[in-house]
Amino acid sequence: MSEAKFRSSARRKFLQDSAALGGAAALGGFAPTIARAQAQKVKVGLMLPYSGTYTQLGIAIENGFRLAIAENGDRIAGREIEYVKLDDESNPAKATDNANKLVTGDKVDILVGTVHSGVQAGMLKIVRETGVLHIGPNAGLNAMTTALCAPNMFRTSFANSQVSYPMGKVLAERRVKNAVTLTWKYSAGEESVNGFKDAFTKGGGKIMRELWIPFPNVEFQSLLTEIASLKPEAVYVFFAGGGAAKFLRDYQAAGLKGKIPLYGAGFLTDGILEAAGVAEAAAGVETTLHYGDGIDTAKNNAFRLSYAKAYKLQPDVYAVQGYDAGLLFVAGMKAVKGDIGNKKAMIAAMEKAEIDSPRGRWRMSKAHNPVQDFYLRKVVGKENKVIGVAAKALDYPPARLCRMA
């Protein structure tokens, strides 16, 4: 699509939106209630970080979601979509208020969000109280699909320990005898290490030592010294973003790279390989994640192409999670023919939906967490090259931990 054409279609969309808005307002007083409900737009609340550290993630998720809707011609089962956006600032203290604003204030039909686990926890409180339909496109807190699971809550991303479990499994299968784990001392880190540990020890491996560092401290030097003196066969870590970049470089500088192999949850090497020196420091590091570079399927290729066209950006795992949230929503809407008020049917449809995702096809578990494949990836150049499947159709933590199962 040429630059000019792209702009003109954006302009047309704007005109359509305004016309629809005018039309809805004109109809307002006269149409009978049911008809009006049908004619009204479906309100999608997007509660995502649009400022702060996670801004890019929030944008990728929204982009992905919108792309999935746009592929359906911007109308689902005859109904137009209206977005109500709210910046959650990744601030857990404001989470319940913000969620409340969207649910009871703006009366959104479905609430989509968010990135930060702490904010997600606050959102879930409102979601459970009000029973509003909800899709979580990122935060991986295990509780969302175990102890706190609920019929109206769905997740299109992962559970923290689900990402690390396959890594432990792979290492155990390789007959690695012992490992040291290291992560920030906070719930996502603990859940990640526990998933790894579960699979690794079940497969016969031994955890030599669990090392922790307070969140979000990045002074790793003493821990690296400790690892060097313990000499394990493998090191498993959970870090993300800036901390991950620093860890990888420190690992190299401490002379451990090439001596003791490093493994991690995919977040360790996602989104940071462009930073100076990181790709080199991370070269050869293996991680597991539900997405990666070089998944050569028709679906993924098509997705990457249209995403790049629409947003002039390369999609990442967050874009995929947002996209799948969109697909899940579309599947539900189609099943109830746009009558989103029919929550029961909508939920049933979302439970049954098979999502044709760029990451590969997946379904919801009984706990409403994706039952999906996890890829084994290796850092090659500036890519997280997929080199195999670490776990097929993984349902973890087991759905039986949720009352609904």
By CB under 8 A, is residue 245 in contact with another protein?
Answer: yes
Q: Which helix H or strand E contains 235, and what residues bound it?
A: strand 234-238
- Looking at the Cβ atoms of 113 and 243, the one nearer to another protein is 243
Q: Which of 78, 131, 216, 341 binds another protein (CB under 8 A)?
A: 216
For residue 345, give every residue at least 6 positions away whose Cβ sits within 8 Å of its Cβ, in sequence order, or none.
335, 336, 339
Residue count of the chain, please give it: 405
Angle at 294 between CA 50 and CA 242, to 5 degrees: 40
Side-chain-side CA neighbours of residue 47 (13 Å): 35
By CB under 8 A, is residue 74 in contact with another protein?
Answer: no
Q: Which helix H or strand E contains 199, and what residues bound it?
A: helix 187-202
Residue 230 corresponds to which amino acid? L
Q: Which of 20, 31, 84, 254 binds another protein (CB under 8 A)?
A: 254
CB count in 10 Å sphere of residue 325:
29
By CB under 8 A, is residue 262 in contact with another protein?
Answer: no
By CB under 8 A, is residue 115 in contact with another protein?
Answer: no
DSSP character string of 364-376 = E-TTSSEEEEEEE
Q: Which of 225, 341, 361, 403 binds another protein (CB under 8 A)?
A: 225
Q: Which of 70, 256, 348, 405 binds another protein (CB under 8 A)?
A: 256
By CB under 8 A, is residue 56 in contact with another protein?
Answer: yes
By CB under 8 A, is residue 206 in contact with another protein?
Answer: no
By CB under 8 A, is residue 8 in contact with another protein?
Answer: no
Cis peptide before 370 (omega within 30 of 0): no
- The beta-strand segments (E) located in 88-177 are 110-112, 133-136, 153-155
Q: Which helix H or strand E contains 249, and what residues bound it?
A: helix 241-253
By CB under 8 A, is residue 163 in contact with another protein?
Answer: no
Q: Give least dist CB 333 to another protein, A.
A: 33
CA distances from 268 to 38, 182, 213, 263, 384 (A): 45, 12, 15, 9, 10
By CB under 8 A, is residue 61 in contact with another protein?
Answer: no
By CB under 8 A, is residue 272 in contact with another protein?
Answer: yes
By CB under 8 A, is residue 213 in contact with another protein?
Answer: yes
By CB under 8 A, is residue 284 in contact with another protein?
Answer: no
- Looking at the Cβ atoms of 55 and 96, the one nearer to another protein is 55
Give the residue among 154, 405, 384 at the shortest CA–CA distance from 270.
384
C-alpha–C-alpha distance, residues 63 and 51, integer Å: 16
Q: Which of 92, 151, 241, 261 binds another protein (CB under 8 A)?
A: 241
Q: Which of 116, 134, 169, 249 binds another protein (CB under 8 A)?
A: 249
Q: Give least dist CB 51 to another protein, A.
A: 8
Give the residue among 218, 288, 227 at the shortest CA–CA distance from 260.
227
By CB under 8 A, is residue 70 in contact with another protein?
Answer: no
Binding mask 341-380 for another protein (x = CB under 8 A): ----------------------------------------
Q: Which of 29, 214, 298, 344 binds another protein (CB under 8 A)?
A: 214
- Looking at the Cβ atoms of 189 and 332, the one nearer to another protein is 189
Give the residue among 313, 294, 300 at the shortest CA–CA distance from 378.
294
By CB under 8 A, is residue 259 in contact with another protein?
Answer: yes
By CB under 8 A, is residue 79 in contact with another protein?
Answer: no
Give me the residues that bind another protein (CB under 8 A), please: 51-53, 55-56, 185, 209-219, 221-229, 231, 241-243, 245-246, 249-250, 253-256, 259-260, 272, 275-278
